[in-house]
Amino acid sequence: MAVKPSSLGVSARMSRQASRDTSPEVAVRRLLYAAGYRYRLHRPVPGLPRRTIDIVFPGPKVAVFLDGCFWHGCPEHATHPKANAQWWRTKLDRNIARDIETNACLTEQGWTVLRFWEHESAEDVARQVALAVAARRAGPFGTS
């Protein structure tokens, strides 16, 4: 028998948490756009239904994910709810496993996958993304 959320109120509150267009994501996008980078948003992961990439550079095949510390198990900031602990542990472990599977699927298809935590500096994230996109555009021998 599946374990259920501890209360309908908690379940409803958690389901309203933003999954896209979060503050960290918007901050990174603004910096990338200002630097002249053009991208797509929330595109499906090829071959994996119901999964999306936060920021996508389809030409150079760079996939960027900005993961929430709670939902994706940040080693520095993840918390572990005490109420209904087993249900939460199972749910959060599935999220982490899904991230690993998504990374593997994209990498097998030739994508560069970049994952960042929500607490990381938007400037640092944008800089790393820009470097990865530039490297992919340059190709293996320094030319497009």
Per-residue pLDDT tens over the stretch 81-140 = 778 888 888 889 999 999 999 999 999 999 999 999 999 999 999 999 999 999 999 987
pLDDT of residue 94: 94
Cα 86 to chain centroid, rounded: 24
At position 14, the amino acid (one-letter code) is M
pLDDT of residue 121: 98
DSSP E strands, the chain: 40-45, 48-57, 62-67, 112-117
Per-residue pLDDT tens over the stretch 7-48 = 666 555 555 555 678 999 999 999 999 999 999 999 999 999
Per-residue pLDDT tens over the stretch 57-83 = 999 999 999 999 888 888 887 777 778
Q: Whole-prediction pTM value?
A: 0.83
Q: Which domains does the chain have, with CATH numbers?
A: 20-138 (3.40.960.10)
